[in-house]
Amino acid sequence: MASRVAFGGIPIMRLSKADAVSVVRGVIGLGVNFIDTANAYGDSEEKIGEAISGIKREDLIIASKSTANDKKTFWEHLNLCLDRLRTDYIDIYQMHHVSSVERRDAVFAPGGAFEGLTEAVRAGKVRFPAFSSHSIPLAMEMMKTGNFAVVQLPFNFVDTAACEEAIPLAKELDMGFIGMKPFGGGLLEDAGIAIRYVLQFDGVVPDPGIERLSEMQEIVSIAEGERELSEEDKKTIDALRRELGAHWCHRCDYCQPCPQGIGISSVLTVESLIKRMPFKRAFMMASDSMEKSRTCLECGVCVSRCPYKLPIPELLKNKIALWERVVAENTV
């Protein structure tokens, strides 16, 4: 059984190895046995590997992910993961960010990553085949194939799409459900409300990215306390939904395709990347899409497709301004 909350291993990329090891060991000491990381999270797997060496392997549930499309790269990622985590099996291995039809088709093609995942389960190197996604409709299709034991989707009190159909579906299919971004990628600041909201849903394990032990101490004490949302909490949630709803991108990508090839959702959620990643890595990941977003023609096609009617061209300009400020602060 997994602990009621997971430990998300993105932010430890920003820490020194010694500090990361001490955070991970401290988190485990708090009774959190579920650790989630990914090949794409820089040296996170390696730091976790050092932190858990010497801890009884069966006492931990370790999840990691691969962005590979093809089987060969999938095996490279998995073997590296086993090596870095100093273990001979991973409990939950996820095909990372299967959020577009193109990626879904690539991983399921002959010689694709899914073949690798199936082989890895057969070889005993992976206990539970899984995937993560930002697209709820696509994820639900994949869940229904019966090929996966665990799914990871964004879920917090603003991104509630997952709860409407995907959470009951996971329950019906007896699948594990990892709640990605319980704090909206660092944008929802009231930990009590954010965690209590997710814990209302049985079987959903929130997976917050943690950088300081004090953050996990707070989360664990919230999870161990009164979980019911108070009337006051509900009012705060409604107010935040109203306030954030005007500019909150749910990464559904219904606004695509953009004639200029702008990765709209990546640009609109760049703040979350900045908050979670070391600046150099965020820069590497986002600079091309931020540059491209400057070519917006303000044609409005995306706005007409966005179910939330977000004023996308205006939001792109705001994000470009934010990006310029962050780049300036980090290059002086």
- Radius of gyration in angstroms for the set of CA atoms belonging to the chain, rounded to a whole number: 19
Q: Which among 58, 57, 37 has a CA at the least distance from the CA of 46?
A: 37
Residue in 221, 246, 259, 280 binding ligand SF4, rule: CB under 6 A: 259
Distance CA 199, CA 44 (A): 26
Q: Say how many C-beta atoms besides its own lie within 10 A of residue 272's C-beta.
A: 19
Q: Where are the beta strands (DSSP E) in the chain?
A: 7-8, 34-36, 61-66, 90-95, 126-132, 150-154, 176-180, 204-207
Q: How far apart are CA 297 and CA 312, in angstroms?
A: 11
Site string for ligand SF4, 293-332 (x = CB under 6 A): ---xxxxxxx---x-x-x-xx-------------------
* CA nearest to 205, candidates 76, 61, 332: 61
d(Cα 139, Cα 5) in Å, to the nearest integer? Answer: 22
Which of 60, 138, 166, 262 touches ligand SF4 (CB under 6 A)?
Answer: 262
Smallest separation, CB 111 to ligand SF4 (Å): 31
CB of 206 to ligand SF4, least distance (A): 22
- Is the Cβ of residue 151 or residue 255 nearer to ligand SF4 in the bound state? 255
Question: Is the CB of 140 or the CB of 191 nearer to ligand SF4?
Answer: 140
* Interface segment toward ligand SF4; rule CB under 6 A; list 174-182, 252-260, 280-288, 324-332: 252-260
Region from 18-26, 31-39, 192-200, 264-272 binding ligand SF4, contact rule CB under 6 A? 264-272
CA-closest candidate to residue 175, choices 137, 207, 142, 208: 142
Answer for which of 65, 125, 251, 276 binds ligand SF4 (CB under 6 A) is 251
Q: Least distance in Å: CB of 308 to ligand SF4?
A: 5
Q: Binding ligand SF4 by CB under 6 A: which of 163, 255, 270, 282?
A: 255
* Distance of alpha carbon 57 from alpha carbon 77, whole angstroms: 20
Smallest separation, CB 304 to ligand SF4 (Å) = 9
- Report the DSSP beta bridge partners of residue 108: none
Nearer CB in complex with ligand SF4: 64/265 = 265
The string of DSSP letters for 127-174 reads: EEEEEE-S-HHHHHHHHHTT--SEEEEE-SSS--HIIIIIHHHHHHTT
The CB-of-317 to ligand SF4 minimum distance in angstroms stands at 10
In 3D, which of 197, 90, 231, 98 has the Cα closest to residue 153? Answer: 98
CA dist 62 and 2 (Å) reads 10
Q: Does 266 bind ligand SF4 (CB under 6 A)?
A: no
Piece of the chain touching ligand SF4 by CB under 6 A; list 11-19, 64-72, 91-99, 256-264? 256-264
- Judged by CB, which is closer to ligand SF4: 26, or 311? 311
Question: Which of 46/253 has CB closer to ligand SF4?
Answer: 253
Residues that bind ligand SF4 (CB under 6 A): 249-255, 258-260, 262, 264-265, 268, 296-302, 306, 308, 310, 312-313
